[in-house]
């Protein structure tokens, strides 16, 4: 049975810790491609058996969360907002802390301290206790277990001291309240910070929430973009956002496509041009026919790709996940050992032993380890997207870190893809007008850049009209066609040896009737790209289906030494495998003829036709034609991986240093709670630097 992706909307997640609980639960049940985002309240996983869904929902709700049907549920109740819980607890915690600063008798009264602490403790029980109990019951103990045990220990210890009149040395109500308040503060800061890391997806989603002007019965009807159907005629005025993907029926306009492609210069659109939903009409007006709506639109596919990308974990995260999964039981064991050793091996007494154990519990922070990778990946993917680079997953980012070879297709990648006909040589006295007519008729049926250039180049020239019954494309070879008189045509690269100056051949009934010389120009920044790759220690390779002479000419101009010419799609696969055995390999192509090679390489990068086969075959899609996007992609990937490693280092180092310090009694539990809360923010802050830092 085929795997299917399940998407759930889950409310009640307050921090990454909550998301980790659900993540562990689903992984424990054996589900694949698990993605849990507390910021967007989304849970996704793959399963081959949809019958398990009701039980999965029940298990998630047993953890203390709520699965809702609506993707945009009603607002969180006032009392359940973590920000409001923080304010409530802070109002009661502040007077408790004042007794440490002022010798006012009233503030030192045990019953008053109990009265101030009790509401905070009850909020802590509701917020952390329920989650802690559910996570233990389901066999996936989370961070809330440590917070609940730590705060409860301080509260119960103080309660015993109060009712047995043991004196001030047994009163730690402020410790209990401060732990809960500071961890709530950490939750608030964490949620706000993570919201910033997911801003790229949210910014794109805003472009879907617009209205459209639908032309109906001679009038204009304003509807939501989500209500547009394929075939609807829409009017897009100057300053409007194009609501869906479509084809221009009439009008002339400059359209800013920066939101999708990262290209800042507006593109001219006229009849037969395609427009992309989410782009802005800068100047002019267009009447378009909707061709792709809803989940089929390019914008929706980009958003879906970015969401799925967050689920693809880099291998570097596996270490963090393993440690986090066994972290809570280990910390509880260390806390117990701390209490026992401090109480029995020293003269510190029960009070000091209890405080040291509580400090160990609250200083520990698996949240930082859990946040280290996904926050960096989210920011890295977002920055790449804003530069017109779609990266399909965090695993791709790590795969390019040690790249040794970059294999380039030639046409449309290193060259512009805009061709011109240099010459047509008629063979055996064939009629040149028939040749032109046949070329036009055949290439009108193809979307290949060469085909479009041939049709454009022959416009206005005398030609005999050829009417075709059928035409089929043979990838990597050319086009086959049959006209209404039963004549068979083949237009494409020829297996038999022909003049090297001519790279296309036209056959009629298996007889060569013409050779065509077609050439395109090298992109102006291609040489700079090749030079940059060499400086980065990466070997550029030219891998093309074009003739050896043309490939050699382009390679010489650009400074590429390794050339593989006249390659069919299956030949390209073999070449990719050869280089993969030598080191990490990136393949850059147009996503159509190169689709198998793009899939086979360690990382496939599509330079062209981002709305079609590229989205399925490539790991990375460059939405603009600027070759510097390749360098930008490598730079962002390397800096994202560097940020992940920095985050994991700080998360591990923090715990390795903090836990022994707390166990030896050098750390007050309240200071520990504050440090724990801000360790998450430090990791997230380091990730957010990726938004603005210079990558080189």
Q: How big is the chain by its Cα radius of gyration, in Å?
A: 32
| Gap between the Cα atoms of 568 and 594, Å rounded | 9
Annotated active-site residue 252? The verdict is no
CA atoms within 13 A on the CB side of 550: 24
| Gap between the Cα atoms of 34 and 7, Å rounded | 10
CATH code for 416-521? 3.40.1110.10
Q: Kindly tell me the sign of the dihedral angle through the C-alpha atoms of 493, 499, 505, 511.
A: negative
Strands 620-622 and 233-236: unpaired
Q: What percent of the chain has pLDDT over 70?
A: 82
E-state strands within 475-546: 478-483, 488-492, 504-508, 511-522, 539-543
Report which of 655, 14, 16 is spatially closest to residue 362, judged by C-alpha positions: 655
Given 3-state DSSP classes, what are the helix, strand and coil percentages for the chain, each rounded to the nearest 5? 50, 20, 25
E-state strands within 558-629: 562-564, 584-589, 603-606, 620-622
Most confident of 96-100, 286-290, 568-572: 286-290
Q: Greatest CA span in the chain, whole angstroms?
A: 116
Contact predicate 343/350, CB 8 Å: yes
Mean pLDDT of 62-90: 76
| Gap between the Cα atoms of 277 and 296, Å rounded | 11
Q: Which residues does 474 contact at the CB level (< 8 Å), separation at least 6?
A: 480, 492
pLDDT score of 199 more than 60: no
Our CA angle for 217, 220, 225, nearest 5°, is 115
Q: Which of 412-421, 507-516, 521-530, 631-640 has the least mean pLDDT?
A: 412-421
Digit-coded pLDDT (tens) for 430-477: 889 899 999 999 988 887 767 877 888 888 888 988 899 999 887 667
Mean pLDDT of 157-180: 79
Instruction: Label residue 611 by pLDDT band (50, 70, 90).
Output: very low
Residues 367-400: b if buried by 16+ CB within 10 A, e if exposed: bbbbbbbbbbbbbbbbbbbbbbbbbbbbbbbbbb
Contact predicate 365/674, CB 8 Å: no
| Gap between the Cα atoms of 267 and 278, Å rounded | 14
Phi, psi angles (nearest 5°) of residue 14: -100, -20
Contact predicate 569/544, CB 8 Å: no
Q: How far is CA 188 from CA 181, 193, 197, 359, 502, in A?
A: 11, 9, 15, 22, 67
CATH topology of domain 229-292: 2.70.150
Report which of 550, 529, 595 is spatially closest to residue 411, judged by C-alpha positions: 550
| Gap between the Cα atoms of 371 and 374, Å rounded | 6
Strands 620-622 and 603-606: parallel
Instruction: Label residue 377 by pLDDT band (50, 70, 90).
Output: confident
The conformation of residue 413, written as its DSSP 8-state character, comes to I
pLDDT score of 373 more than 50: yes
Contact predicate 611/623, CB 8 Å: no
pLDDT at site 608:
58
| Gap between the Cα atoms of 425 and 427, Å rounded | 6
Query: What's the token pair of residue 592?
Result: 């159509």
Digit-coded pLDDT (tens) for 328-340: 788 888 888 988 8
Query: What's the token pair of residue 581?
Result: 């055995």
Q: How far is CA 489 from CA 461, 463, 466, in A?
A: 21, 16, 11
Phi, psi angles (nearest 5°) of residue 420: -135, 150
- In 3-state terms, what secondary structure has residue 246? strand
If you search the block for the tokens 């459209």, which residue do you land on? Answer: 212
Contact predicate 443/482, CB 8 Å: no
The conformation of residue 122, written as its DSSP 8-state character, comes to H
Q: Is 272 left (phi over 0), alpha (psi -120 to 50) or beta?
A: left
Digit-coded pLDDT (tens) for 497-524: 556 668 789 999 998 999 888 777 788 8
Residue 569 CB-density burial (10 A; 0-12 exposed, 13-18 middle, 19+ buried): middle
Most confident of 145-154, 360-369, 553-562: 553-562
Query: Among residues 395, 409, 483, 594, which one is catalytic?
Result: 409
Strands 584-589 and 603-606: parallel
Contact predicate 147/132, CB 8 Å: yes
Q: What residue segments make up the domains of the chain, in order of their start? A: 4-74, 229-292, 378-414+523-638, 416-521
pLDDT at site 246:
92
Digit-coded pLDDT (tens) for 233-281: 999 998 898 999 999 999 988 888 766 665 556 788 888 888 988 888 9
Residue 530 CB-density burial (10 A; 0-12 exposed, 13-18 middle, 19+ buried): buried
Report which of 358, 62, 46 is spatially closest to residue 183, judged by C-alpha positions: 358
Phi, psi angles (nearest 5°) of residue 553: -65, -45
If you search the block for the tokens 């996570």, which residue do you land on? Answer: 135
Query: What's the token pair of residue 498?
Result: 């022909």
| Gap between the Cα atoms of 20 and 384, Å rounded | 26
The conformation of residue 412, written as its DSSP 8-state character, comes to I
Mean pLDDT of 585-602: 77
pLDDT score of 130 more than 90: no
Phi, psi angles (nearest 5°) of residue 44: -130, 145
| Gap between the Cα atoms of 272 and 250, Å rounded | 8
CB neighbours of residue 226 within 10 Å = 13
Mean pLDDT of 557-583: 87
Q: How far is CA 665 from CA 150, 156, 344, 356, 654, in A?
A: 15, 20, 15, 5, 17
Report which of 405, 408, 406, 409 is spatially closest to residue 545, judged by C-alpha positions: 409
CB neighbours of residue 103 within 10 Å = 7
Contact predicate 60/34, CB 8 Å: no
4-74: which CATH number, 3.30.365.10, 3.40.50.720, 3.30.70.100, 3.40.50.300? 3.30.70.100
CATH code for 378-414+523-638? 3.40.50.1000
| Gap between the Cα atoms of 495 and 35, Å rounded | 50
Q: What percent of the chain has pLDDT over 90?
A: 15
């Amino acid at each position: 049975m085929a795997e299917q992706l399940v998407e759930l909307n889950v409310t009640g997640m307050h921090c990454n810790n909550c998301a980790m609980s659900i993540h562990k639960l689903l992984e424990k049940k054996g589900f694949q491609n698990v993605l849990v985002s507390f910021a967007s309240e989304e849970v996704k996983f793959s399963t081959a058996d949809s019958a398990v869904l009701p039980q999965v929902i029940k298990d998630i709700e047993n953890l203390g969360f709520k699965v809702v049907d609506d993707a945009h549920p009603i607002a969180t109740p006032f009392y359940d907002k973590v920000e409001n819980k923080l304010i409530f607890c802070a109002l009661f915690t502040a007077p408790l802390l004042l007794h440490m600063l002022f010798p006012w008798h009233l503030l030192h009264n045990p019953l008053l301290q109990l009265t101030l602490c009790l509401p905070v403790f009850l909020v802590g029980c509701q917020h952390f206790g329920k989650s802690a109990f559910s996570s233990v019951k389901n066999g996936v103990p989370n961070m809330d277990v440590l917070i609940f045990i730590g705060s409860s220990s301080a509260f119960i210890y103080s309660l015993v001291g109060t009712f047995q009149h043991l004196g001030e040395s047994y009163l730690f109500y402020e410790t209990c309240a401060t732990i809960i308040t500071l961890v709530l503060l950490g939750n608030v800061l964490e949620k706000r910070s993570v919201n910033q890391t997911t801003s790229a997806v949210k910014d794109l989603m805003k472009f879907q929430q617009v209205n459209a002007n639908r032309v109906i019965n001679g009038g204009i009807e304003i509807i939501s973009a989500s209500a547009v159907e394929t075939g609807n005629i829409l009017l897009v005025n100057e300053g409007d956002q194009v609501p869906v993907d479509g084809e221009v029926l009439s009008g002339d306009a400059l359209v800013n496509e920066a939101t999708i492609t990262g290209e800042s210069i507006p593109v001219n659109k006229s009849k037969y041009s395609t427009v992309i939903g989410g782009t802005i009409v800068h100047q002019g007006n267009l009447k378009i026919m909707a061709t792709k709506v809803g989940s089929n639109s390019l914008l929706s596919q980009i958003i879906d790709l970015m969401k799925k990308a967050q689920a693809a974990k880099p291998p570097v995260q596996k270490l963090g996940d393993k440690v986090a999964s066994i972290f809570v039981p280990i910390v509880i064991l260390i806390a117990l050992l701390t209490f026992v050793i401090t109480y029995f091996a020293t003269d510190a007494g029960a009070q000091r032993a209890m405080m040291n154990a509580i400090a160990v519990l609250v200083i520990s922070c698996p949240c930082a380890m859990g946040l280290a990778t996904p926050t960096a990946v989210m920011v890295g993917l977002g920055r790449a997207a804003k530069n017109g680079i779609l990266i399909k997953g965090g695993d791709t980012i790590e795969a390019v870190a040690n790249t040794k070879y970059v294999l380039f297709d030639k046409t449309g990648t290193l060259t512009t893809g805009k061709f011109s006909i240099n010459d047509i040589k008629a063979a055996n006295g064939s009629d040149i007008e028939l040749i032109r007519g046949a070329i036009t008729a055949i290439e009108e049926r193809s979307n290949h850049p060469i085909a479009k250039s041939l049709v454009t180049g022959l416009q206005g020239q005398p030609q005999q009209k050829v009417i075709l019954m059928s035409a089929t494309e043979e990838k990597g070879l050319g086009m086959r066609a049959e006209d209404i008189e039963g004549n068979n045509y083949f237009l494409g690269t020829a297996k038999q040896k022909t003049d090297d100056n001519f790279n296309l051949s036209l056959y009629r009934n298996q007889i060569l009737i013409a050779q065509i010389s077609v050439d395109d120009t090298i992109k102006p920044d291609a040489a700079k790209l090749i030079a940059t790759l060499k400086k980065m220690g990466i070997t550029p390779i030219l891998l093309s289906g074009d003739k050896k002479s043309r490939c050699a000419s382009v390679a010489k101009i650009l400074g590429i030494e390794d050339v593989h010419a006249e390659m069919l799609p299956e030949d390209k696969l073999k070449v990719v495998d050869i280089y993969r055995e030598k080191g990490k390999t990136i393949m850059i192509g147009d996503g159509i003829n190169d689709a198998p090679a793009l899939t086979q390489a360690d990382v496939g990068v599509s330079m062209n036709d981002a709305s079609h086969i590229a989205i399925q075959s490539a790991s990375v899609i460059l939405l603009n034609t600027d070759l510097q996007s390749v360098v930008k992609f490598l730079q962002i990937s390397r800096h994202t991986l560097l940020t992940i490693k920095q985050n994991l280092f700080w998360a591990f180092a923090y715990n390795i240093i903090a836990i022994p310090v707390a166990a030896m009694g050098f750390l007050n539990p309240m200071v520990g709670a504050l440090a724990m809360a801000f360790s998450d923010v430090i990791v997230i802050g380091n990730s957010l630097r990726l938004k603005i830092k210079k990558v080189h």
